[in-house]
Structure 1
Amino acid sequence: MRTLFLAAALLSGTAASAQLRPDQAAFRGLYKELIETNTTVSAGSCTLAAERMATRLKAAGFGDADIKLFNGPMDRPQDGGLVATLAGKDAKSKAILLLAHIDVVEAKRADWERDPFTLIEEGGWFYGRGTSDDKAQAAIFTDTLIRLKAAGKPLKRTLKLALTCGEESPAVFNGAEWLVKEHKDWIDAEFALNEGGIGVSDDKGNPLKLAFQAGEKVYQDFRLEARNPGGHSSQPRPDNAIYQLTAGLNRLAATEFPVQFTDASRAYFTAMASQMGGEVGAAMLAMLANPADAAANAIVSRDPNWHSMLRTTCVATRLDAGHANNALAQRASANINCRMFPGDSLEKVRGQIIAAVADPGLMLITDAEVSPTPPPPPLTPAIYDPAVALAKKHFPGVPLLPTMVTGATDGRFLSAGGIPTYGVPGMVADKTLNNVHGLNERISVTNLYTTRDYLFDLINAYAAN
């Protein structure tokens, strides 16, 4: 029965593929090649994926001088990527950068219903690791440069494409960060387009809302630690490292960081207030007028997503204490994971945590990997208006809202390096987030092709002005 089911699914996918436009069929082949190139940190190679995309670019007419292939560090040459350039007509206009990561989260074949590294089209969905995050956008951006090269009509602005590794495992190596630090000239641009503009779909992948991301929170870990001489557990002492730590954590848990707005989140909550109406809509308007309105904050922050969008959040995620069951702990520590509001400095958040735990005997140690803390990019009409206009064409009747994501992407490295980075719309996710990072990751076939057309037009609009 399983064999018959899979055969029927494959035949269904073949039938759907036969109905594609020629340009869509070419895109599907590129997308399939990316999905079926394993780029996990354990067993894959981003370098191989980059080389395969370079081969496609060269076949479209890009010269060797237009493509820069690079490897990862000496101990991980497989963590490479590429930068490709499509020259524009106006040398005085700064370039636009298209950024996408080609590495993916681990995927064990034994856990998946389908081979995670085989592109399978079934029931209106593409299944496979990276189908959503982020090889869909990597394929669209690569395909866009190929289509523009084939058209033979240079746009006003130069377009640059960066396919990088390490977004999913930045502690190992991060290609976007490396490019900013070591080869800024390769990718320098007036602004960059990236992942992060993820809208909302129903359970069939039909878009309900689109999102334009202008700002993302910053990931940062701290360690809160109590130390003590310890001793024999038969003779407890009043100063106990575990109790001291937990008391500080309880005070941190009871602390709310202040409400803040970016251009994007202010526009988002303004639009949502109109959509929601009632008590919630009124509370949103009250907070926009006065971010310190505690009663309005209590109403809006019932939603965990809105709560996180409005402020820096810091939460204990791991505990480590003691060295023996029959001994008083000499050390007790907790990992504090913060998602810092765009523009909040490390020093500011450190100070807020120290004030919250209110115990000078507790040490707050900054994680060795310090994230950059760039301000959010400006949501200007030149950036936002074309996205809105084209959304009406490609996604009629679907609202587009600006947003600030509560996670983090490689855009933080570009923004910190002076390249404002935006998460472009088009992609949508259902309530499971399309199983991104989980089992049986998928993306709506129809939405992928529509987003491809939308982004092609949007990139053209930006590059023409």
Structure 2
Amino acid sequence: MRVLFATIGATMLCAGAAQAQDGATTPGGKEALTLLVDGVKFQTVAGNGQVPAYAAYLKAKLLSAGFAPAEVQFVALGETGYLTARTPGRDRKAKPVVVLAHMDVVAADPKDWTRDPFTPVVENGYVFGRGSLDNKAGLSMAVATLMQLRRAKWVPQRDVVLVLTGDEETTMQTTKAAAAAFKDAALVLNADAGGGQLGDDGKPVVYALQAAEKVYGDWHLSVTDPGGHSSRPGPDNAIVHLATAVTRIAAYRFPPQQNEITKASLAGTATMTPGPLGAAMRAFSANPADTAAADILSADKRYIGQVRTTCVPTMFNGGHAPNALPQRAVANINCRIFPGTPRAAVEAKLVALAADPKVTVRFNDNGTIEAGASPLDPKVLGAVKAAVAKRAPGLLVVPAQEAGATDSMHFRAYGIPSFGVGGVFMKPSDSFAHGLNERVPVATFDPGVAWWESLLRTLG
């Protein structure tokens, strides 16, 4: 999950909603919690071959709720794959709605964790374990909701298809295949993005509706040289050439940019953000050419991803011996590109900034693709606001742009409107996705299942 709490100011006031429950009490919430606890046990890290086993577990649960065998299919791709479950609609010719989530998780070293990452623990109001937040909580709530609706014999207007991918955290090959299989979809609702922010008192303060994400890109910069004895240095040094180029790139600020999503996000957030930061949000949302306002926002790591492309050095390796001139030096530059900016333009800028013919700049293709923002759909926005009103009356809904990357990019590339509408509400201080001691609040499961039911009944 790429939770969007970082787009929301930490100084916001409470929207006046009731305190979250302490545990799962509804049938749907209990079922979702059980699915999560069982799901964490599957070590669905790339290379472990556990995604098919987890998919088989989920398939059995869906069949037990009344899905027909022909409606639930697993498509194997190497050691992973993707799972689909179709709820047939009344109009079989209408384009389907896709409910999207991912089954895989990032690696976790048990030596670093307080608890074993793949032994789920429910303690002090949280479920601890790798993937508990990213993305097995959202997946479990969506699956539990579809199981509940199937038992209730719900028939949507159009087909609703659950799509669970198996390598979102790595190459997204299952996502690519699933997007191609469902490129006729009318809409994608992604459980791996969007969500509600809670204040320190546990009360909701804002909901972020993800409608865009930045484009991921890695470039390898390298310098080679004959090297030699370190006692006889010459004018050229591979490490020096590379370090100089990397320093220039790190110091550069890409021009500020804005789209419909970031404009609405900053304008909405500004209403609850006091001081110079709130003033900068108002100024920049009104005028994207206001570079002074953009610089104020960029100085805050929560907002730099909202106003411009960023490129930063993330890895550096050079030399082969302490007493020898380096024969090779390599650096990785990781860029998060503002939607609509071509990768080719970013690469051209990196070459210009390196300003050194000895520095080779090469794009490292990891399977991510270029995709623009999804235009705000009044029906989706209305459905989300209705679901929010049931969960936290008066809560502000803010469109948001993801600084990271999700499966939605492959569907957006086909022109399918895709929105992060996750049902997890939590404090930013509790978010440890991809980190140590990952956890998710138990109290989010009851309202989370009700959340998904509201969205699916409205948009299905």
TM-score past 0.5 threshold: yes
How far is 1:206 from its partner?
4.1
- Measure the CA separation in 2 of the matches of 1:290 and 1:440: 41
SS in 2 for 1:169: coil
More moved, 213-222 vs 443-452: 443-452
How far is 1:362 from its partner?
2.0
| Cα pair 2:138 2:423 within 8 Å, conserved | no
- Measure the CA separation in 1 of the matches of 2:275 and 2:300: 15
- Counterpart amino acid of residue 94 in structure 2: S
Query: Judging changes above 3 Å, is the alpha-carbon distance between structure 1 residues 426 and 141 closer, same or farther for their aligned structure 2 residues?
Result: closer
Query: Within 5 A, what are the aligned runs for 1:12-411?
Result: 20-43=25-48, 45-73=50-78, 76=79, 79-170=80-171, 174-181=173-180, 184-185=181-182, 188-194=184-190, 195-202=192-199, 206-411=203-408
- Measure the CA separation in 1 of the matches of 2:278 and 2:26: 44
- Measure the CA separation in 2 of the matches of 1:167 and 1:281: 34
- Measure the CA separation in 2 of the matches of 1:107 and 1:332: 29
Query: Judging changes above 3 Å, is the alpha-carbon distance between structure 1 residues 397 and 446 closer, same or farther for their aligned structure 2 residues?
Result: farther
- TM-score normalized by structure 2? 0.88
Query: Judging changes above 3 Å, is the alpha-carbon distance between structure 1 residues 252 and 439 closer, same or farther for their aligned structure 2 residues?
Result: closer
| Cα pair 1:97 1:188 within 8 Å, conserved | no
How far is 1:204 from its partner?
6.6
| Cα pair 1:220 1:370 within 8 Å, conserved | no
| Cα pair 1:205 1:447 within 8 Å, conserved | no
SS in 2 for 1:339: strand
Query: Judging changes above 3 Å, is the alpha-carbon distance between structure 1 residues 428 and 44 closer, same or farther for their aligned structure 2 residues?
Result: farther
Query: Judging changes above 3 Å, is the alpha-carbon distance between structure 1 residues 293 and 103 closer, same or farther for their aligned structure 2 residues?
Result: same
| Cα pair 2:99 2:163 within 8 Å, conserved | yes
Question: Is 1:455 aligned to residue 445 of structure 2?
Answer: no
- Measure the CA separation in 2 of the matches of 1:330 and 1:365: 18
Question: Is 1:417 aligned to residue 414 of structure 2?
Answer: yes
Across the two proteins, how many residue pairs are aligned to each other? Answer: 439
Give 1:12's aligned residue. none
SS in 1 for 2:368: coil
How far is 1:44 from its partner?
5.5
How far is 1:214 from its partner?
0.6
Give 2:9's aligned residue. none
| Cα pair 1:47 1:70 within 8 Å, conserved | no
| Cα pair 1:210 1:425 within 8 Å, conserved | no
How far is 1:85 from its partner?
0.7
More moved, 204-213 vs 52-61: 204-213
Give 2:4's aligned residue. none
| Cα pair 2:215 2:338 within 8 Å, conserved | yes
| Cα pair 2:37 2:127 within 8 Å, conserved | no
Give 5+ residue unaligned stretches, structure 2. Answer: 1-21
| Cα pair 1:204 1:444 within 8 Å, conserved | no
- Measure the CA separation in 1 of the matches of 2:109 and 2:230: 44
How far is 1:176 from its partner?
1.2
Relative contact order higher in (CA < 8 Å, ≥ 6 apart): 2
Query: Judging changes above 3 Å, is the alpha-carbon distance between structure 1 residues 164 and 289 closer, same or farther for their aligned structure 2 residues?
Result: same
State the superposition RMSD in angstroms: 2.3
Q: Deviation string for 1:398-427 (max 9, x for gaps)?
A: 322111111111222222233332110432
- Measure the CA separation in 2 of the matches of 1:270 and 1:204: 25
- Counterpart amino acid of residue 298 in structure 1: D
Q: Deviation string for 1:153-181 (max 9, x for gaps)?
A: 311011000112112232xx632123235
Give 2:11's aligned residue. none
Query: As a proportion of its length, which structure holds more helix?
Result: 1
- Measure the CA separation in 1 of the matches of 2:395 and 2:250: 38
| Cα pair 1:226 1:362 within 8 Å, conserved | yes
More moved, 408-417 vs 310-319: 408-417
How far is 1:83 from its partner?
0.8
Give 5+ residue unaligned stretches, structure 1. Answer: 1-15
- Give the % identical residues: 37
Query: Judging changes above 3 Å, is the alpha-carbon distance between structure 1 residues 36 and 323 closer, same or farther for their aligned structure 2 residues?
Result: closer
